[in-house]
Structure 1
Amino acid sequence: SQLISHGVIRTSFPSTTSTSLATLTTGEMPGAHGMMGYTVQVPRSGGRVLNSLKWDERVDPVIWQPVPTLFERATAAGIHTTHVAAKRYENSGFTRAVFRGASYKGANLSEDLISETVQALEKTPSFVYLYVNDLDSAGHSDGVGSDKWIAALRYVDQIATQLLEKSPAGTRIWVTADHGMINVGEKIVLGRDNDLLDGISVVAGEPRARHLYRSADSSEPISEIISRWEMTLGDKVSMFSRESAIAAGLFGAEVSADAADRIGDLIAIAQENLVLLDPERSDKEGLMVGHHGGDSLIESSVPLLLCIK
């Protein structure tokens, strides 16, 4: 066994699980696959918000994310494809949107994750995707660099090491991540002791990258709302209108009409270590130490390692 290469690659924006994994499994940018953030407003729904990881059965995953996945393409080419992850994800809308085409093997314990992966690799030819969320979970709860985070990093390393030991000869193992993470600094609750939610009816996205949807009865131009945010927060936030975000290529070179409809009327990207808390979720969001979703190098840079058995 040997390490063939290692380096750093960049995720798509926003640097969040649902968007990044859709980019990974389709090979397309968010403007094509339509997974525009952790939460977004469902167009023409009266303000209903879709949590892309928890999903909403009123939303068809295949319509919401229409791009064929690498699993579908590989299966059509005669390659056995398997998705190994925690049992709770098996029938989720997110799994159907992003991982369709793969045979799902649910496993919660490390030994089961490894055994299911190795067993799937015995089929020839085969491709197996294994997802482990322990490092992300530890970072959110305790922060990057905490004892819990370091223990989770060691756990991931142990799984990768055992996979390399137990996989069939000739197996290539790529190790990567869906995003990085920063530890929280300043916290601002939107609309609390500030006018940042004036003219805004729906807050979506996440604390490092907000999709903001204007109230239907608001007559204030988007440009004036952006100016108000910039007057309040200065360079602590990068502001875009939907149109300027698309023009800047924030979601890729091309953005489909469906994907564009899901983007906020405004996008607020927190800079430095600032987080922008939703007033309706501020207690829960405020407890998290680690955050991601923004466009900083720390949040968007992930490792890519290749080992060959």
Structure 2
Amino acid sequence: MGTSVPTAPDAAANLADVLPSCLVALGAADDAWLRSHGLEARIALRPARSAIVVLVDGLGAAALAARAGHARWLAAPPASGAARKLRSGFPTTTAAALSTLTTGRPPGSHGVVGYSGWNPDTGRVMNLLSGWDDEVPAGWFLGPTLFTEATGIGVDPVVVGPGRYRTSGMTANVLGGARYVSADSIADRVDAALVETLTGRSLVYLYVPELDSIGHKHGWQSDRWTAALELLDGELARLDRTLRPDVGVVVTADHGVLDVPDHANIPMDPALLEDVVGVAGDPRCRQLTVAPGTDVRSLVGRFRARYGKKAFVATRAEAIDAGWFGRVAPEVVERIGDVVLVARGSWAFNDDRALQPGETPKRMLGQHGAMTDEETFVPLRLASAFAG
């Protein structure tokens, strides 16, 4: 077809490195243990007794830099100068990114390849964020999590998050192996993390979903998003001041976010979807499964001709060869769409075929899922015992 697709860097530190690096810093894991588990720990952390990993859903490095005056603790550069950041991985969506964080492996290995994904056994698209209770079959998640591994090497894994997620199927799978502590406000979560690190050797995961929720509805450039960032920044500064000196803190995010204007929300051409039997993923990262016998390469060529520089379009094989999903296990290959459509710029691709005449489609303002720097790069703030 003549059109190349971008390759994903395979040597850069990313979300998969966070928990292994913490286990090394706690003295629970070493190079031999990492090699035996096929893990990387490319974030250099100072030794600590316990660690807190704060995951701020939807906080991109670019958005944080743009609002640095409202988040002076989060945006403060390390002693070495430039602010640090990580790559989140691909696709830049919560289900995939959190699974990468908790397993230390890319989506192609843990099997959660997007916000939603194709189940080749049932011939249906499943929601991989909220569908774990009734859609996702047992064994879909190719763990184990690093929380499960931590227990066996003398570390107490704890998740601190809103009570509404405590009994969810996603928590049971993606956060499996950790003890769940419910705390509904950001301040209460900080307090809970402080208690969990008073004694012993703990690995605490503290989840902050508020910015992502606000960003989807109002955009990251809204006053509401900025106010939530200010509140979070103040609470994390308090955490840093209050922690015992032998506890380290890592603050990062699962992905960034872009505000997508109305004109950039594109209804996909129905003629291009005639042979598509499953539309999965986010509007900024569509994975399309086609009917048997479809000429996939021809369809990719038609998508490229139709949308030009608005998107990267790849066959499944091209996406895998380019390293988009990292190492891909054989049982994961068919979960990835035959055609992968990744938005460039601020575009988003919607399937509006089910809309009634005159019906106004519901769109999110803040969106993510693709490969832009705004979505891919997330902050890496080290504090307390990990500072420096």
With the length of structure 1 as denominator, give the TM-score of the two structures: 0.91
Check the 8 A contact 2:116/2:125 in 1, yes or no: no
Equivalence for 1:189: 267
Counterpart check, 1:292 vs 2:368:
yes
Equivalence for 2:51: none
Counterpart check, 1:20 vs 2:97:
yes
SS of 2:211 mapped into structure 1: helix
Q: In 1, Cα distance between the equivalents of 2:209 and 2:253?
A: 10
1:47 maps to a residue whose letter is R
Q: In 1, Cα distance between the equivalents of 2:367 and 2:93?
A: 9
Equivalence for 2:115: 38
Equivalence for 1:250: 324
Counterpart check, 1:163 vs 2:239:
yes
Check the 8 A contact 2:127/2:135 in 1, yes or no: no
Q: In 2, Cα distance between the equivalents of 1:97 and 1:248?
A: 28
Counterpart check, 1:262 vs 2:335:
yes
Q: In 2, Cα distance between the equivalents of 1:287 and 1:50?
A: 18
Matches within 5 A, 1:29-108: 29-60=106-137, 63-108=139-184
1:83 maps to a residue whose letter is V
2:89 maps to a residue whose letter is S
Deviation at residue 163 of structure 1 after TM alignment: 1.4
Mark the CA change 1:285 to 1:184 in structure 2 (over 3 Å): closer, same or farther: farther
What residue ranges of structure 2 are gaps of 5+ in the alignment? 1-72
What residue ranges of structure 1 are gaps of 5+ in the alignment? none
Q: In 2, Cα distance between the equivalents of 1:281 and 1:181?
A: 27
Q: In 1, Cα distance between the equivalents of 2:304 and 2:95?
A: 28
With the length of structure 2 as denominator, give the TM-score of the two structures: 0.73
Q: In 2, Cα distance between the equivalents of 1:276 and 1:33?
A: 26
Q: In 1, Cα distance between the equivalents of 2:275 and 2:173?
A: 33
Q: In 2, Cα distance between the equivalents of 1:86 and 1:242?
A: 36
Deviation at residue 90 of structure 1 after TM alignment: 1.2
SS of 2:208 mapped into structure 1: coil
Mark the CA change 1:163 to 1:60 in structure 2 (over 3 Å): closer, same or farther: farther
Mark the CA change 1:131 to 1:265 in structure 2 (over 3 Å): closer, same or farther: same
Within the candidate set 308, 318, 331, 1:234 is matched to 308
Within the candidate set 189, 193, 211, 1:135 is matched to 211
Deviation at residue 49 of structure 1 after TM alignment: 2.2
Q: In 2, Cα distance between the equivalents of 1:140 and 1:306?
A: 27
2:234 maps to a residue whose letter is Q
Q: In 2, Cα distance between the equivalents of 1:123 and 1:156?
A: 25
1:73 maps to a residue whose letter is E
SS of 1:83 mapped into structure 2: strand
Counterpart check, 1:224 vs 2:301:
no
1:254-308, Cα deviation, whole Å (9 max, x unpaired): 2111211210111100111101112268789743111100011110000001001
Deviation at residue 109 of structure 1 after TM alignment: 1.9
Deviation at residue 4 of structure 1 after TM alignment: 6.1
Check the 8 A contact 2:94/2:129 in 1, yes or no: no
Mark the CA change 1:34 to 1:174 in structure 2 (over 3 Å): closer, same or farther: same
Q: In 1, Cα distance between the equivalents of 2:172 and 2:361?
A: 27
1:105-129, Cα deviation, whole Å (9 max, x unpaired): 1111233212211111123111100
The 10-residue stretch of structure 1 (12-21 or 90-99) with the greater mean CA deviation from structure 2: 90-99
Matches within 5 A, 1:204-215: 204-215=280-291
Check the 8 A contact 2:255/2:377 in 1, yes or no: yes
Q: What RMSD over aligned residues (CA atoms) do the two structures have, in Å? A: 2.1
The 10-residue stretch of structure 1 (22-31 or 262-271) with the greater mean CA deviation from structure 2: 22-31
Mark the CA change 1:74 to 1:167 in structure 2 (over 3 Å): closer, same or farther: same
Mark the CA change 1:264 to 1:25 in structure 2 (over 3 Å): closer, same or farther: same
Number of matched pairs? 303
Check the 8 A contact 1:209/1:293 in 2, yes or no: yes
1:221 maps to a residue whose letter is D
1:259 maps to a residue whose letter is V
